[in-house]
Amino acid sequence: MSELFGTNGVRGIVNEDMNTDLALRLGKAIGTWIGKNKTVAVGTDTRVSNQMLKNAVSSALMATGNDVIDLGEVPTPAIQYYTRKNTDLGIAITASHNPPEFNGIKCINGDGTELIGDMEEEIEELYFSKNFELVEWNEVGQRTSDDPLELYKKAIKKKIDIKAIKEDEPKVVIDCANGAGCCLSPYLLRELGCDVVSLNAQPDGSFPGHESEPTKENLKDLIRLTKETDADLGIAHDGDADRAIFIDENGEFIHGDKILTLIAKEMVQEKGGGTVVTPVSSSSSVEDVVRENGGNLIYTAVGSPIVARVMKKEEAIFGGEENGGLIFADHQYCRDAAMTASKIVEMIVKEDRLSSLLEDLPDYILKKRGVECPDDLKVRLLEEVKKEFEDEDYDDTDGLKIYYDEGWVLIRPSGTEPKYRVYCEAQDEEKAEMLVSEHQDRVREILKELR
């Protein structure tokens, strides 16, 4: 695994591991990697340290002979859309859902997708070798600014039946978590024809409303307000507004896998078939609805940049993960919260209330547990796990997924913590609990023998 890049770019605590020296050096590595005379769009979420890191990265890009377009505080998918349309590369300064003391730097390819694998390795090599190519004084790049939001909103509006929404005028409560969604989602929803109540809609990198991860715990105010205002829908974003989580008209928190399944079904029905891409950790309900409606499903390793990459290669129509990060191929190949929110609004006005739409979906019980495992034992543990279950029906796309008659179990190392994750899905609570505890114990046993 990469030393510098995690599953979502480079992240760390500000002025500790994520500091101006790193930003400057990484900026030079990125600038050297793309070569001079290119244009790079740089945008941020609402974190306190954004100006500091943005200026360091931008200076380094200009030193390597590249022009910078400053996009300001905007959702990550808006930076991605702008990059695909206008520039050679994009950079998002964000730590997404992490606590306020964190920040991060994420690279976006010229096609709007996030960089992965070998491209990150090449940048990392330059970062460590310091083989930077700084240009002559008269070739230094310049910085201008632009607003990507009108272009981005226009792209979403083109895909949505605004007339139907305007006629119905649904009441929607939007919780922006004081993050990058503040400058976009309340306005977009109003322009689509919704009656909008906004919450935590002032940009503030100390996240005074609640932490920027859209969990049920963090969304108590949204849940209450959705009920109290008799709204048709509650919507929440994470800090950089690439993920959307929903509250139904009864004030019930809806898990991300339900929305993933619901929109997968909708997209396959709309297009009369097509391919849907999702990681091996997703609920079987996605596969069920896609196949039932004549579509095809491809499983990948966990991580939205991988899902996006496979979608592009396989010409898939839709993809996503259970955390509320959904990708619409005819819009752009990255997670897009505003697009997801707009699609759900369209569906509730044209079809039925959200709770009724969800009632028709297959119902499985998904469980997730952890097993502490030091990073240096992760590879050996996986080898042993594979030996242990080699006689079973399995898939080793990411970790090991084992299929049983009563459900499936996925055992995989965490990409960000010293942990193994044990996921399991079955048709009822009892079977799910049995499968997950049994496998959690077996992984612990195997690990004990390795120590």
Question: Binding residues for Mg ion, per CB under 5 A?
Answer: 96, 238, 240, 242
* Residue with the CB atom nearest Mg ion in the bound state: 96
Q: Which is nearer to Mg ion, 240 or 248 (CB)?
A: 240
Q: Which is nearer to Mg ion, 245 or 262 (CB)?
A: 245
∠ CA 343-344-348, nearest 5°, is: 120
Q: Which is nearer to Mg ion, 124 or 240 (CB)?
A: 240
The span from the CA of 91 to the CA of 204, in Å, is 21
**Is 246 in contact with 259 (CB distance < 8 Å)?**
yes
Q: At 233, is the secondary structure helix, strand, or coil?
A: strand
The span from the CA of 129 to the CA of 400, in Å, is 36
CB-based burial, 264-297: b 16+ in 10 Å, e otherwise: bbbbbeebeebbbbbbbbbbbbbbbbbeebebbb
Q: Which is nearer to Mg ion, 184 or 197 (CB)?
A: 184
Q: How far is the CB of 433 from Mg ion (least distance, A)?
A: 31
Which DSSP helix (H) or strand (E) runs through 113? none
Which member of 49, 58, 59, 96 is catalytic? 96
Q: How far is the CB of 8 from Mg ion (least distance, A)?
A: 7
The span from the CA of 175 to the CA of 197, in Å, is 9
Kindly tell me the burial class for residue 40, based on how many C-beta atoms sit within 10 Å of its own C-beta (0-12, 13-18, 19 or more): buried
Q: How far is the CB of 101 from Mg ion (least distance, A)?
A: 17
Q: How far is the CB of 353 from Mg ion (least distance, A)?
A: 28
Asked if 96 is an active-site residue, the reply is yes
Q: Of 394, 80, 414, nearest to 240 (Cα)? A: 80
Q: Which is nearer to Mg ion, 232 or 321 (CB)?
A: 321
CB-based burial, 108-134: b 16+ in 10 Å, e otherwise: bbbebbbbbeeebeebbebbeeeebee
Q: Which is nearer to Mg ion, 73 or 242 (CB)?
A: 242
Q: Which residues lie below 8 Å from residue 309, measured CB to CB, with a gap of 6+?
A: 113, 116, 333
Q: How far is the CB of 71 from Mg ion (least distance, A)?
A: 16
Partners of 197 in beta bridges: 173
Q: How far is the CB of 392 from Mg ion (least distance, A)?
A: 35
Residues labelled catalytic: 96
